[in-house]
Amino acid sequence: MKSEMNHSALRVEGLFFAYPGEEQLNFPDLEVTSDNPLLILGDSGCGKTTFLHLLSGLLNPDGGSVVLDGKNISTLNPAACDRFRGQNIGMIFQQPHFIEALTVYENLRISPYLSHMKQPLSALESSIQELNLSGLLNKLPSRLSSGEQQRVSIIRALMNRPKLILADEPTSALDNKNCAAVIELLIRKARQLNAVLIICTHDERIRKEVENELDLSDMTLNVTEKP
Amino acid sequence: MIRKIALKNIGYKPLNTVLCLALLTFSVSIITLIVILQKDIEEKFQNDLRDIDLVMGAKGSPLQLVLSALYHVDAPTGNIKLAEAKKIMNSPIVEQAIPLAYGDSYNGYRILGTEQAYLQKYDAELEAGNWFDKDMEAILGANVAVASGLKIGDTFVGTHGDVEGGHLHEDHKYTVEGILRSNHSVIDNLVLTNIPSVWRVHSSQQDGGSKEPSHEEHHHDEEHHESHQHDHPESHEPGHDNHEEKIIADSMDITAVLMNFKTKMALLNMPRTINEQTSMQAVNPGMEINRLFSLIGIGATTLRMIAGGIMLISGFSIFFILYNRMEDRKYELALLRAVGYRPVRLLYLLLWEGIILSISGYFLGVFLSRAGLWFINKKASADFHMVFSSYYHSSEAWIFLLTIGVGILATLLPAIRAMRMNVSRVLAEN
């Protein structure tokens, strides 16, 4: 797959990493564009989270490269890497994390790179408005249901208008109804923002929503035919 | 944003915050109070010392003599014979000698019989009226005037002794002749008159006839002085009251003499001469006050150490509270890293929390110390005629630095731990 013009693209080549005293993990080469989200599957412990952290720059690979829109993340120094992540990558976790002392609205604005942005994101305005109507914006995150929390954390991950969205088991703690709502929100917003979306999961409920799959257990890259 | 998070975090666990703040506040206020009180007392005592070389008075406690004759906060040691004192006062090596006679008070303020030289020594200036020049004329110190409400021309009677409610000398009325401008020295709290006035008030009770100058000069009789336990220039023996205005001065008693010498040598020799060869004692007030301060200093140092201990505990409590919360907070710290904050920003975050706590603790402490000072002033001004200034002392700056230092030190270890956190591992822990 070649990236078209104005589509963001992530390219991974020859990536490998080893935790101290453990076996080396080798990751397949791949290229993901913003028009085609990628699902990463695999048994727990096969390195899904490690892979995401290597893509986000939270971990430094022992070799290989991660290139987002022409920028090689693996060669950045730590400070530049933090800045690059803050400006270009949105992360969503299995358990939504928040600054507990801050309200939902303040949590949406914790990114240090928001003040540099020209205008509020039109793509997110409706979502924020929706939270506001449900009276959630001024609550503390701990007061929200887990479905609400995950929706808020998705919107927060998008606040910096990322080129790459990395979601680690975003639905595993949710019931069916919330799962569907969250995955729909994630895919729709990624498309609106023209961002590359990569979801790590072993949640079967997501598989029917996403065409591209990478199974890290056997290193196979599949494109499933949607019904 | 980091500062906002720090601020919000402090408010998020109010009980922890209250504990830290309370400990900091108490330690700061105690240290501040001790510093202010000690400084103020020392300044006041040094100010009232006025380079007086020697205080001469009846034998007894040297410190008591200094406290009573110089600072008017203690009862006199007894009386001395003017005739005997004069022999020393007229010595050629004495540059200046100011006799004092006291023992009565008005509303708790001491009535001091003395000479104009005393007023000059304390740079007294009149706010209103005139200096005393006749008997039974009095001038009031600034605080006395305010407290009593007496005006020029008003009359009042003294009370025997230093406390209110004693025997009133009702047949001898003083007339207010002048009121002094406040100059923050001991004279603010005195009623000043001449020595003959003091004699006159008491001569009605005095067995005057038995005393004759030449007789006294030869005697230096001890038995007279030993019996003078009361703070009173005259003896109490009932005597004839309708005497003439004929007071033979040399036969009279005074309470103390403030002296300056022409040479340092005299200052060294004179006390020994007086102590060994007369019934009086001579005390170097500077030395006595330094000794008093070194005694007070032991107490103040102890209190300071206690306050320092409380501050140490507050430092530890900040440390424990932050350190314990690290486990709860590691996900939010990891989140901050994930959204692009550099590790050093997490260090700032925790340091800020410590600094905000210590700054708030400091200002609460300063506020509490002022409240304490106000309370002490209410008591001290009634009991000791002493008012402590509640202005900000420059020496409080180091208390500020100390408090901030404690806050930073207590936060440093958790902050470094936050900075070096392995974000990837924390986020993978789910």
Maximum Cα–Cα distance for chain A, whole Å?
51
The strand pairing partners of B178, in sequence order, are: B129, B139
Mean pLDDT of all residues in B231-235: 47
Contact A91 B9 (CB under 8 A): no
Tell me, what's the pLDDT at A135?
84
Q: Which of A58, A101, A156 sits opposite B423 (nearest CB)?
A: A58
Q: Identify whether residues B132 and B217 lie together within a single domain.
A: yes
Q: Cα torsion at B228, B233, B239, B245 (round to 10°)? A: 160
Mean pLDDT of all residues in B393-412: 88
Tell me if chain A has a CB within 8 Å of the CB of B345.
yes
Chain A residues touching B1 at Cβ < 8 A: 109-110, 112
Q: Identify whether residues B317 and B378 lie together within a single domain.
A: yes
Q: CA-nearest residue of chain B to A81?
A: B340
Contact A87 B335 (CB under 8 A): no
Rounded to whole angstroms, the Cα distance separating A103 from B8 reads: 10
pLDDT at A164 > cutoff 90: yes
- A168 near A93, Cβ under 8 Å? yes
Q: Which of A79, A99, A106 sits opposite B332 (nearest CB)?
A: A99
* B375 class by beta-carbon count within 10 Å (0-12 exposed, 13-18 middle, 19+ buried): exposed
Show the tokens assigned to A158: 């998008």
Tell me, what's the pLDDT at A23?
85
Q: Which residue has the higher pLDDT, B56 or B1?
A: B56
Residue B104: pLDDT band (50, 70, 90) is confident
- A168 near A41, Cβ under 8 Å? no
Q: Identify whether residues B208 and B229 lie together within a single domain.
A: yes
Among residues B252, B283, B314, which one ends one of the domains? B283
Q: Which of B332, B341, B428 sits opposite A49 (nearest CB)?
A: B428
**A contact test, residue of B424, B425, B426 with most A CBs within 10 A:** B424
Phi and psi at residue A143, to the nearest 5°: -85, -5
Contact B430 A95 (CB under 8 A): yes
pLDDT at B49 > cutoff 70: yes
Q: CA-nearest residue of chain B to A58?
A: B424
When mean pLDDT is compared over A223-227, B375-379, B419-423, the highest value belongs to B419-423
Q: Identify whether residues B152 and B89 lie together within a single domain.
A: yes
pLDDT tens column, B243-299: 444 455 667 889 999 999 888 888 888 888 888 988 899 999 988 888 888 888 888
Tell me if chain B has a CB within 8 Å of the CB of A164.
no
Q: Identify whether residues B88 and B181 lie together within a single domain.
A: yes
Sign of dihedral through CA atoms B410, B411, B416, B418? positive
B-proximal residues of A, 103-162, CB under 8 Å: 106, 109-113, 156, 160
Show the tokens assigned to A208: 């029917």
- A41 near A74, Cβ under 8 Å? no
Residue B211: pLDDT band (50, 70, 90) is very low
pLDDT tens column, B164-198: 667 788 778 899 999 999 888 888 889 999 988 88
Residue B401: pLDDT band (50, 70, 90) is very high
Tell me if chain A has a CB within 8 Å of the CB of B59.
no
Tell me, what's the pLDDT at B341?
92
pLDDT at B305 > cutoff 60: yes
The strand pairing partners of A10, in sequence order, are: A32, A68
Contact A91 B339 (CB under 8 A): yes
Chain A residues touching B12 at Cβ < 8 A: 100-101
Tell me if chain A has a CB within 8 Å of the CB of B422.
no
Residue B100: pLDDT band (50, 70, 90) is very high
Q: Identify whether residues B355 and B210 lie together within a single domain.
A: no
Phi and psi at residue B187, to the nearest 5°: -70, -15
Range of the domain at B168: 54-283
Rounded to whole angstroms, the Cα distance separating B380 from B373 reads: 10
Superfamily of domain A9-96+160-222: P-loop containing nucleotide triphosphate hydrolases (3.40.50.300)
Tell me, what's the pLDDT at B313?
87
Residue B228: pLDDT band (50, 70, 90) is very low
| Residue A189 to chain B, least CA–CA distance (Å) | 18
| Residue B327 to chain A, least CA–CA distance (Å) | 13
Contact B342 A56 (CB under 8 A): no
- B260 near B94, Cβ under 8 Å? yes
Chain B residues touching A83 at Cβ < 8 A: 340, 342
pLDDT at B227 > cutoff 90: no
- B333 near B21, Cβ under 8 Å? no
pLDDT tens column, B120-146: 888 888 888 888 888 889 999 988 898
- B253 near B82, Cβ under 8 Å? yes
Alpha helices, H only, B339-389: 343-383
Q: Cα–chain-centroid distance for residue B332?
A: 54
| Residue positions counted in chain B | 430
- B352 near B3, Cβ under 8 Å? yes
pLDDT at B237 > cutoff 50: no
Among residues B264, B283, B302, which one ends one of the domains? B283
Beta carbon pairs, A and B, within 8 Å: 82
What is the DSSP pairing of strand A30-33 with strand B256-261? unpaired
- B396 near B32, Cβ under 8 Å? yes
Rounded to whole angstroms, the Cα distance separating B324 from B312 reads: 18
Contact B331 A56 (CB under 8 A): no
pLDDT tens column, B323-339: 888 888 889 899 999 99
Q: How crowded is residue B404: how many other Cβ atoms within 10 Å of its Cβ?
A: 16
Using CA atoms, how far residue B27 sits from A225, B59, B230, B303, B317, in Å, is: 72, 44, 44, 10, 13
Residue B41: pLDDT band (50, 70, 90) is confident
pLDDT at B216 > cutoff 70: no
- B202 near B253, Cβ under 8 Å? no
Residue B242: pLDDT band (50, 70, 90) is very low
Phi and psi at residue B343, to the nearest 5°: -50, -40
Q: Identify whether residues B233 and B151 lie together within a single domain.
A: yes
* A174 CB-near residues (< 8 Å, 6+ apart): A146, A147, A150, A182
What single string gives the DSSP state of each residue in B33-68?
HHHHHHHHHHHHHHHHHTT--EEEEESS-HHHHHHH
pLDDT tens column, A78-109: 899 999 999 999 999 988 899 999 999 889 88
* B219 CB-near residues (< 8 Å, 6+ apart): none
Contact A112 B427 (CB under 8 A): no
Tell me, what's the pLDDT at B248?
59
Tell me if chain B has a CB within 8 Å of the CB of A211.
no
Rounded to whole angstroms, the Cα distance separating B33 from B128 reads: 36
Contact B340 A91 (CB under 8 A): no
Residue A48's identity, in one-letter code, is K
pLDDT tens column, B16-37: 889 889 988 988 998 888 888 8
Q: CA-nearest residue of chain A to B13?
A: A101
Tell me, what's the pLDDT at B20?
86
What single string gives the DSSP state of each residue in B283-336?
E-HHHHHHHHHHHHHHHHHHHHHHHHHHHHHHHHHHHHHHHHHHHHHHHHHHHH
| Residue A222 to chain B, least CA–CA distance (Å) | 26
Chain B residues touching A91 at Cβ < 8 A: 338-339
Show the tokens assigned to B111: 């009535």
Angle at B48 between CA B47 and CA B49, to 5 degrees: 90
Tell me, what's the pLDDT at A119?
54
pLDDT tens column, A146-163: 889 998 999 899 888 899
Tell me if chain B has a CB within 8 Å of the CB of A202.
no
Mean pLDDT of all residues in A6-11: 83
Show the tokens assigned to A32: 């993901």
Rounded to whole angstroms, the Cα distance separating A103 from A143 reads: 10
Among residues B248, B283, B318, which one ends one of the domains? B283
Q: Identify whether residues B308 and B342 lie together within a single domain.
A: yes
pLDDT tens column, A43-78: 777 888 899 999 999 999 999 999 998 889 988 998
Tell me, what's the pLDDT at A3?
40
Q: How many domains is chain B partitioned into structurally?
A: 2
Tell me, what's the pLDDT at B389?
76
- B232 near B78, Cβ under 8 Å? no
Contact A99 B336 (CB under 8 A): yes
Closest CA to B314 of B11, B6, B29, B4: B29
Show the tokens assigned to B388: 């402590």
Order of all β-strands in the sheet with A220-223: A89-92, A164-168, A196-200, A38-41, A212-215, A220-223
ipTM: 0.89
Chain B residues touching A58 at Cβ < 8 A: 337-338, 423-424, 427
Tell me, what's the pLDDT at B250?
65
Tell me, what's the pLDDT at A221?
64
Chain A residues touching B342 at Cβ < 8 A: 78-79, 82-83
* B107 class by beta-carbon count within 10 Å (0-12 exposed, 13-18 middle, 19+ buried): middle
Tell me, what's the pLDDT at B50?
83
Chain B residues touching A101 at Cβ < 8 A: 5, 8-9, 11-12
Tell me if chain B has a CB within 8 Å of the CB of A173.
no
| Residue B344 to chain A, least CA–CA distance (Å) | 10
Tell me, what's the pLDDT at A207?
86
Q: Which of B1, B423, B428 sits opposite A110 (nearest CB)?
A: B1
Using CA atoms, how far residue B284 sits from A25, A220, B261, B377, in Å, is: 89, 101, 12, 30
